[in-house]
Amino acid sequence: MYFNIDPKKNVPLYEQVIHQVKEMCAKGILQPNEKLPSVRELSSQMVINPNTVSKAYQELERQGVIVTIRGRGTFISEDFTHTFDPRLLKNMKQSLKQIIIDSHYAGITKEELTKWIEEVYKEIGGQKREN
Amino acid sequence: MYFNIDPKKNVPLYEQVIHQVKEMCAKGILQPNEKLPSVRELSSQMVINPNTVSKAYQELERQGVIVTIRGRGTFISEDFTHTFDPRLLKNMKQSLKQIIIDSHYAGITKEELTKWIEEVYKEIGGQKREN
Amino acid sequence: MYFNIDPKKNVPLYEQVIHQVKEMCAKGILQPNEKLPSVRELSSQMVINPNTVSKAYQELERQGVIVTIRGRGTFISEDFTHTFDPRLLKNMKQSLKQIIIDSHYAGITKEELTKWIEEVYKEIGGQKREN
Amino acid sequence: MYFNIDPKKNVPLYEQVIHQVKEMCAKGILQPNEKLPSVRELSSQMVINPNTVSKAYQELERQGVIVTIRGRGTFISEDFTHTFDPRLLKNMKQSLKQIIIDSHYAGITKEELTKWIEEVYKEIGGQKREN
DNA sequence: GTGGTCTAGACCACA
DNA sequence: GTGGTCTAGACCACC
């Protein structure tokens, strides 16, 4: 459980935590039913405010990525169900488009970008969550 | 020159303007040396504050997308030169990774995502900026 | 942390702030990782509008001189990396040429001007930033 | 008489004209008593507004670089006398300091900067105005 | 507490 | 007419 958090980035800390957890799940580093560190543990380990970790956990739970069982702790959820939110899809599509355009302005060719994407899928490929 | 701005989105207004201009340039709707609407014009057209448009224009100029000529107005740059900023590249790569993971969680397959990307490139394909 | 701002000068206030911060960094008065006064603090201290300070800070961050950490404040960067922007170089060269010509018109000899330059380098010499 | 004017620069056009004239004088391209093109001539040659040229000429005359003789035209002044304006000196010194600091941030060493200065003096060296 | 965004409205320099 | 700067004051997200 190593977290890579950079307060200098303009991405909010709590979002970085969310991203990290989701990434580790996708890569299979975190397995379903696995226990996550407590809010206090994680916050002291990362040297950030407990509220920040708490907020991240809440959002992760809202997204169905984790579940907290009162008195027992927080766990990776066993049964992740995709939620087809059309607005979410639209947003992702738009973000993707924006990145493509920006990369285009930065001189990145379609081939390079495709290579990047391949790399990401390779990292998470063997551990595809298919439930 | 139709702009689509949504004040309800959590993306800042001025960034939305930036995105739109860059997208229109990439698609060829805006051609090099073409005049953009004046700050006041665009702001009244979009029903937003002139300062907001101004901020967007200034950032676009910083990125080299447009040039402003004193007392005359703002124009699409004719000579866009890519700047290889390693930090920028890293950020884009990370954003891309995040979108892929999020899309993965939303149940989007690699094939679907690749299709999306193809679509974007098709839109901007014929008008590739090649300087 | 004493700032000298002159609203009567034709140099914009926010640029004066930028210059001052960069000068203090170069002289070693401000050290890497040191915290800068908050936007509100500095603005009330200088009796200028917070937005003006904010604009200066944002530009300084863009230049890599400072970093802002969300909810914590702004700090002098610890790792300043030079960016070789050819346009920037050209501009500086031209400004320099102009000053030399103007000083020439004002009757300043090459020797005097060289002495001025020596003085500036002496001020910042011992504290050279060597990222 | 070739003028190099770039409306895209953030330096006002009329200042660019002033700079050019002064530079050409310093280099000896323009000699004392030499006639300058009329406002109309120059403005049409440069494709800029006559008012802009006029403003430049007025400022040049104020600085004593040129003289206009009603009905005859505008000429490079024969007897240029240095004006020791302490405020002007202070401003130049400050501008110089700022350029040095900025160049320092851009990774330019003292040696490089000195070389730049040498080059400028070499250009204007043989034609030093000493009256 | 921090900075970021936005608005409204003013003034100025430039062309 | 153009964009640039500055102020005053508001609201928000983040920590």
Spatial CB neighbours of A85, under 8 Å, sequence gap ≥ 6:
B106
Confidence of residue A129 (pLDDT cuts 50, 70, 90): very low
Confidence of residue D131 (pLDDT cuts 50, 70, 90): very low
Dihedral class, residue D48 (left if φ above 0, else alpha if ψ from -120 to 50, else beta): beta
The residues with which B66 forms a beta bridge, in sequence order, are B76
Q: What is the pLDDT of residues A61-101, one digit of tens each?
A: 999 999 999 999 999 998 777 778 888 899 999 999 999 99
The CA-atom distances, in angstroms, between C24 and each of C30, C55, C126 are 6, 18, 13
C95 plus C69 within the same structural domain: no
Report chain D's C-alpha Rg in angstroms: 16
Dihedral class, residue A82 (left if φ above 0, else alpha if ψ from -120 to 50, else beta): beta
Chain D residues touching residue B67 (CB < 8 angstroms): 8
D70 plus D32 within the same structural domain: yes
Residue B58 inside a domain? The answer is yes
Q: Report strand pairing: D73-76 vs D66-69.
A: antiparallel
Res B87: pLDDT = 86
Q: H/E element holding D73?
A: strand D73-76
Which residue has the closest alpha carbon to E4 C1'? Answer: C54
Q: How many C-beta atoms surround the C-beta of residue D124 within 10 A? A: 19
Residue A94 inside a domain? The answer is yes
Written in H, E and C, the secondary structure of chain B is CCCCCCCCCCCCHHHHHHHHHHHHHHHCCCCCCCECCCHHHHHHHHCCCHHHHHHHHHHHHHCCCEEEECCCEEEECCCCCCCCCHHHHHHHHHHHHHHHHHHHHCCCCHHHHHHHHHHHHHHHHCCCCCC
Res C67: pLDDT = 97
The verdict on B84 touching A (C-beta cutoff 8 Å) is yes
The verdict on D10 touching B (C-beta cutoff 8 Å) is yes
Res D82: pLDDT = 77
Chain B residues touching residue D7 (CB < 8 angstroms): 69-70, 72
Residue type, D118: E
Quote the percentage of chain D above a pLDDT of 90. 80
Chains sharing 3 or more CB pairs under 8 A with chain A: B, C
B62 plus B97 within the same structural domain: no
Q: Which long-range contacts (CB under 8 A, 24 or more apart) does B95-100 make?
A: B95/A95, B95/A99, B96/A96, B96/A99, B96/A103, B96/A113, B96/A116, B96/A117, B96/A120, B97/A23, B97/A120, B98/A19, B98/A23, B99/A92, B99/A95, B99/A96, B99/A99, B100/A117, B100/A120, B100/A121, B100/A124
The verdict on D4 touching C (C-beta cutoff 8 Å) is no
Chain C from 52 to 81: CB within 8 A of any B CB: 62
Residue A81 inside a domain? The answer is no
Picking from C48, C38, C41, C63, the residue whose alpha carbon sits closest to that of residue C12 is C48
Q: What is the pLDDT of residues D16-41, one digit of tens each?
A: 999 999 999 999 999 999 999 999 99
Statement: residue C58 has pLDDT above 50: yes
Across the interface, whether the CB atoms of B106 and A23 are under 8 A apart is answered no
Res A126: pLDDT = 59
CA of residue D108 to C1' of nucleotide F9, angstroms:
43
| Tens of pLDDT, residue by residue, chain B (131 residues) | 789 999 999 999 999 999 999 999 999 999 999 999 999 999 999 999 999 999 999 999 999 999 999 999 999 999 888 888 888 999 999 999 999 999 999 999 999 999 999 999 999 976 544 44
C98 plus C70 within the same structural domain: no
Picking from A83, A30, A15, the residue whose alpha carbon sits closest to that of residue B103 is A83
Mutation target vs A (from C61, C66, C69, C77; most A CBs, 10 A cutoff) = C69
Based on the structure, what is the number of domains in chain A? 2
Q: Number of C-alpha atoms within 13 angstroms, CB side, residue B46?
A: 26
The verdict on C5 touching D (C-beta cutoff 8 Å) is no
Q: Number of C-alpha atoms within 13 angstroms, CB side, residue D89?
A: 12
User: How far D19 CA lies from chain C's nearest CA (Å)?
Assistant: 7
Phi, psi of D65 (to 5 degrees): -80, -35
Residue C40 inside a domain? The answer is yes
D103 plus D72 within the same structural domain: no
B97 plus B42 within the same structural domain: no
Q: Is D22 helix (H, G, I), strand (E, B) or coil?
A: helix
Q: Are B32 and B78 in contact, with CB atoms under 8 Å apart?
A: yes
Within its chain, how far is the Cα of B21 from the centroid? Answer: 5
Confidence of residue D58 (pLDDT cuts 50, 70, 90): very high
Picking from C23, C99, C98, the residue whose alpha carbon sits closest to that of residue C65 is C23
Mean pLDDT of chain C: 92
Res A82: pLDDT = 77
CA of residue B51 to C1' of nucleotide E11, angstroms:
15
B56 plus B104 within the same structural domain: no
The verdict on B131 touching C (C-beta cutoff 8 Å) is no
Residue type, B98: Q
Domain extent for D62: 13-76
What positions of strand E are covered by protein, i.e. any atom < 7 Å from a CB? 1-10, 13-15
Statement: residue D127 has pLDDT above 60: no
Statement: residue D112 has pLDDT above 50: yes
A57 plus A105 within the same structural domain: no
Both structure tokens of B97 = 């990774």
Statement: residue C131 has pLDDT above 60: no
**Cα D34 from Cα D61, distance rounded (Å):** 14
A51 plus A104 within the same structural domain: no
Touch test A–B: 3 Cβ pairs or more under 8 Å: yes
CA of residue B110 to C1' of nucleotide E4, angstroms:
36
Average pLDDT over residues C93-103: 95
Picking from D25, D28, D30, D18, the residue whose alpha carbon sits closest to that of residue D61 is D18
Across the interface, whether the CB atoms of B85 and C83 are under 8 A apart is answered yes
Res C126: pLDDT = 59
Res B10: pLDDT = 93
CATH of the domain at C49: 1.10.10.10
Confidence of residue A127 (pLDDT cuts 50, 70, 90): low
Residue B81 inside a domain? The answer is no
C22 plus C72 within the same structural domain: yes
Res D124: pLDDT = 87
Chains sharing 3 or more CB pairs under 8 A with chain D: B, C
Residue C8 inside a domain? The answer is no
D20 plus D61 within the same structural domain: yes
Residue B43 inside a domain? The answer is yes
Q: What is the pLDDT of residues C30-56, one digit of tens each?
A: 999 999 999 999 999 999 999 999 999
Q: H/E element holding A27?
A: helix A13-27
**A-B contacts at Cβ under 8 angstroms:** 107
Q: What is the pLDDT of residues D86-99, one digit of tens each?
A: 888 999 999 999 99
Which residue has the closest alpha carbon to F14 C1'? Answer: C71
Average pLDDT over residues D57-63: 95
Res D98: pLDDT = 96
**Cα B58 from Cα B11, distance rounded (Å):** 18
- Token match 């080059």: residue? D119
**Which residues surround strand E, with CB < 7 Å?**
B 7, 12-15, 48-52, 55, 70-72; C 36, 38-41, 51, 54, 57-58, 61, 68, 70-74; D 7, 12-15, 48-49, 51-52, 55
Both structure tokens of A115 = 């290579």
**Cα C117 from Cα B102, distance rounded (Å):** 55
Residue B7 inside a domain? The answer is no
Average pLDDT over residues D13-18: 97
User: How far B69 CA lies from chain D's nearest CA (Å)?
Assistant: 5
Both structure tokens of A40 = 């206090």
D90 plus D67 within the same structural domain: no
